[in-house]
Amino acid sequence: MTDPTPTPTPGIHHVTCIAGDPQRNVDFWAGTLGLRLVKRSVNQDDPGTYHFFFADAEGTPGTSMTFFPWESLPRGAVGTGQVSRTAFRVPAGCLDYWEERFDAHGVDYGDRIERFGETVLPFRDPDGLPVELVEARIDGDDPTVPWTEFVPESAAIRGFHSVTLWLADPKPTGELLRTMGLEERDTEPTPADDPGDERTRFAAAGPVGAYVDVVRADESGRQGHGTVHHVAFQTPTDEDQAAMREAVQSAGLRPTQQIDRHWFRSVYFREFAGVLFELATNAPGYTSDEPLDELGERLVLPGPFEDRRGAIEDALPDVTVPRAETADANDR
């Protein structure tokens, strides 16, 4: 019997989304947003599809946004039972830079919003995925490491800020978040053009990806391009994960057994309102199979997939990762 009170999660570990064209996905997330492609691999359940991991310079837990470019799927619709918004931290005062950059790159962005005393810049990626930049205080001892190939340190994305969940009934999910160690922090009315009447913020203790906002919403959604597939929370060690798994199971959910995802070990479950949650260990990490200065340069095929490299490579479309030395003036 494990301790019934699990170690609180420090926050989000990664967010995984569904994209369309893989080249367009890499051009936007690595080129326009300036994240580092830290891992180029395949979907471990569908090795004919890429799995891209975009993160900070070192793939720090709490910074990786990952995509399955499933070209055959249709465009999705963000709705109830999904992560509706994924927000990233950026240094205070840099949103003018981002608006200019978005103008130069033709990115679809909205007006700035004030939310819980912070300034938020909403935009969409080329598949229509709703994303936000949130101005945050980033201290000298911040665990994230900026990747500055395309975006200067003064504006570089520094890991997740939060996810927003749209839920038919936020109450059981709120209880679950408490079980996972988040605390209910604050509630404020949602703007008139947003779903729901109010947004409630839950906060974890970690410096990165600490917030989960829940909104009661009744928007019909459909998984496809431009939607989030799942959100993973950090359970740094196997012991943390086992205890959290047990707590989640005791709460009435049905977590999977631990699955080896090569760069972390994972447990999955659908929470009460239908959002797919994952618990992910911090080890072994993205530098376990490639040197730090070569992350993302080659296709990495975990375990048994390496034996099928020829066939897998032949089936995947060619993708070129944008590099600063070949970028045009707009990218500088």
**Residues at the interface with Zn ion (CB under 5 A):** 16, 232, 278
Q: How far is the CB of 222 from Zn ion (least distance, A)?
A: 20
Q: Which two tokens stand for residue 171?
A: 């109450």
The least CB distance from residue 16 to Zn ion, in Å, is 5
Sheet of 264-270, strands arranged across: 36-43, 46-55, 64-69, 12-19, 227-234, 276-284, 264-270, 259-260
Pull the structure tokens for residue 166.
């749209």
Instruction: Give the other-Cβ count within 10 Å of 328's Cβ.
Output: 6
Q: Do 238 and 265 contact (CB within 8 A), yes or no? A: yes
In three-state secondary structure terms, 230 is: strand
Neighbours of 282 (CB within 10 A): 19
**CB of 51 vs Zn ion, minimal distance in Å:** 9
- CB nearer to Zn ion: pick between 135 and 278: 278
* Separation CA 146–CA 36 (nearest Å): 9
Provide the 10 A C-beta neighbour count for residue 178: 14
- For the bound state, the minimum distance from the C-beta of residue 61 to Zn ion, rounded and expressed in Å, comes to 12
Q: How far is the CB of 152 from Zn ion (least distance, A)?
A: 30
Q: Whose Cβ is closer to Zn ion: residue 12's or residue 217's?
A: 12
The count of other CB atoms within 10 Å of the CB of residue 57 is 18
Residue with smaller CB distance to Zn ion, 69 or 322: 69
Supply φ then ψ for residue 329, to 5 degrees. Answer: -60, -30
Give, as one character, the DSSP assignment of residue 28.
Answer: I
| Beta carbon nearer to Zn ion, 16 or 25 | 16
- Cβ within 8 Å of residue 107, ≥6 positions away: 32, 101, 123, 124
**Minimum distance of Zn ion from residue 232's CB (angstroms):** 4
Q: What is the DSSP letter of 151?
A: S
Class of residue 326 by CB neighbours under 10 A (exposed 0-12, middle 13-18, buried 19+): exposed
* Amino acid identity at 31: G
In the complex, what is the shortest distance from the CB of residue 14 to Zn ion, in angstroms, rounded to a whole number?
6
Residue 170 tokens, joined: 């936020």
> Which residue, 180 or 232, is less far from Zn ion as judged by CB?
232
CB closer to Zn ion, 182 vs 232: 232
Q: How far is the CB of 276 from Zn ion (least distance, A)?
A: 9
Give whichever of 157 and 232 is closer to Zn ion, judged by the CB atom.
Answer: 232
Question: Quick one: 162 or 200, whose CB is closer to Zn ion?
Answer: 162
Amino acid at 305: F
